[in-house]
Every structure is written in C-alpha cells, then in structure tokens.
Amino acid sequence: MIENLFSLQGKTALVSGASSGLGAYFAEVLAQAGAEVIIAARRVEKLDELAGKIVANGGRARVVAMDVASPESVELAFQAIDAMTGQLDILVNNAGISTKPGRFVEQEEDIWGGLLDVNLRGVWRVAREAAIRMKAHGSGTIINTGSIYSLCTGIMKTDYNVSKVAVAQLSKNMALELGRYGVRVNTLCPGYFASDINAAEFGTEKGREYIRKLVPQRLGEYRELAGPLLLLASDAGSFINGVALPVDGGSLLSPI
Ligand SMILES: NC(=O)c1ccc[n+]([C@@H]2O[C@H](COP(=O)([O-])OP(=O)(O)OC[C@H]3O[C@@H](n4cnc5c(N)ncnc54)[C@H](OP(=O)(O)O)[C@@H]3O)[C@@H](O)[C@H]2O)c1
C-alpha cells in the first residue's frame, strides 16, 4: 500500500550523534514513522531530554551512552543495544565533528587525527558493529551521514572534506559486500543546515553572505531532510543501495 511505503512500524533504529542537531531530528522522524529509536551520543542528559520528548509525542525511545571515538565505549554500547533489542533494523550513523577552518599547510596532525577518529574511524566502528548484526539477520539498512563535501572539494576544510568523501566510499564498499545479505548502505549528504557544528561560521556576516551565494540562497530546513531520510530507511528505498544522496537545494551545482 502506497500510504504505508515509508512506515517503520515494528522496526528498531539506532541513531548516533542524536544529542543535538540533525541526529536529534532524525531520531524524532524515525520515531514518528513508527520505529523504536535507540539514541546514542556522549551527552546522556541531552539524550534523556530527547527521549522524554519522543515518548511524550507517542513514540518509543531508549538511551545509550556511546563515544564513537572509543572502541571500548562502542563495544559497551552495542552490548547494551543487544540487551535492549533482538534485532537492529536501521542505523543512522550520524555522529560527526568539524574543526576550525584552516589552510592545509597550517593544519596540525593531532587536530586532523582527532577529526578522523570521530568522522571516519568512529563511523566505520559503529557501521561494522551494526553490519555484523544485520548480516546475521539477513536484513537491515545503514545510512551514513556524509555531506555535500562527500561529493566535492572544500577549501579550508581538508580534514572534514576527506572524512566525508571517505564515508561515502565506505558506504559503497559496504553496500557492495553486504547487498547480497539483504543489507543496504547509503550516504545521506546534507547541504547546509543550522546546527552547533556550523553556528560559529554562519553566525557571522561573512557566513550569511556565503549562504546567500548558494543556489538555494538559504540554509536547508530540517523538515527537508525527513523525506530523504525515510526513503533510505524504509522499504520505499528497498532497491536503493550504495548511493550518496545530496539534499542541498542544488548547492553542489555551482561552486563558490
Ligand atoms: N549541519 C550541517 O549543515 C551538516 C551538513 C552536512 C553534514 N552534517 C553532518 O551531520 C552530522 C550531525 O551534525 P550536526 O550538524 O547535527 O552537528 P551537531 O549538532 O554538533 O551534532 C553532532 C553530534 O555528533 C555527536 N558526536 C560528536 N562527537 C562524538 C563522539 N566522539 N561520539 C559520539 N557522538 C559524538 C554529538 O553528540 P555528543 O557531543 O553528545 O557526543 C552530536 O550529537 C555530522 O556528521 C555532520 O558532519 C551536518
């Protein structure tokens, strides 16, 4: 039935980086579509707040502490998740950080490494744990949060850019390997959306000027990510595997 195409009734979804910004919104959308959501991040008090909101709106939410940069923390989190649910159907692998924009030649190794620890190794780590479980079960969908920087170059953001290109490639390699086991892996590539990650950048006149030069001439609104997220998370997207889907109002069409 067409009206049930995007339904997530009976599904369990894990969202990493759910304590703020896009991840918190993704968790609310998945819960509204019927999924039980397990929300993960380091700031557990924020997760508790979000879980309360989801439950107050009639949804189901569980909280798990997880630092994606720590193998031990991810292992413990998945032990907790295994105890919470027999089956993980959806992973939105969304935790990510940015660093202060700067030229490549000025970048310091520990800053570069710290970003990759979260945006690449962390994404890999969580994806792998979920994939092991989904493969054993014979179904699942993984949505890695990329960026338009998964699909283009970005001046002053080499570390972030490289991490997001790598995330899109990781998704494709995973899709290639796991497709035959009923597991789909795609990358959702948002354009610019206001959040803590870019508040400093877009809070300035220079930042606002930059946004005005984009094809959509504005930031995206969170609600504009709901449809693309549900497409990749639900059976509506059952034949979509290994794609990197930009949701950017066409920002990628015109380099600034
Ligand atoms: N906003 C945009 O315009 C935009 C565009 C494209 C892509 N993205 C991507 O969207 C994702 C979410 O970013 P956002 O914009 O929503 O920014 P945000 O509000 O800063 O959210 C980042 C999330 O990642 C979590 N996180 C950071 N480090 C972590 C770690 N070591 N372990 C576990 N969780 C960690 C944070 O939770 P804790 O601090 O509580 O751990 C937080 O929930 C990121 O991958 C980002 O690259 C954002």
Neighbours of 39 (CB within 10 A): 31
CB 115 within 8 A of CB 159: yes
What span, in angstroms and rounded, lies between the C-alpha atoms of 171 and 165? 10
Q: What is the DSSP string of 122-141?
A: IHHHHHHHHHHHHHHHT-EE
25 part of the active site: no
pLDDT at 256: 65
Instruction: Retrieve residue 157's tokens.
Output: 């953001």
CA of 176 to the centre of ligand 1 (A): 26
Domains and CATH numbers, the chain: 8-235 (3.40.50.720)
Q: Which residues in the chain show pLDDT less than 50?
A: none
How many whole angstroms from 3 Cα to the centroid of ligand 1? Answer: 32
Q: Who's near 23: CB < 8 A, 6+ residues apart?
A: 15, 16, 17, 39, 41, 92, 94, 95, 145
Ligand 1 cavity residues, CB under 6 Å: 16-23, 41-43, 46, 66-69, 94-97, 118, 122, 145, 147, 190, 192-193, 195-198
- Amino acid 102: pLDDT: 95
Rounded distance from Cα 172 to ligand 1 centre (Å): 21
140-145 vs 90-93, strand pairing mode: parallel
pTM comes to 0.98
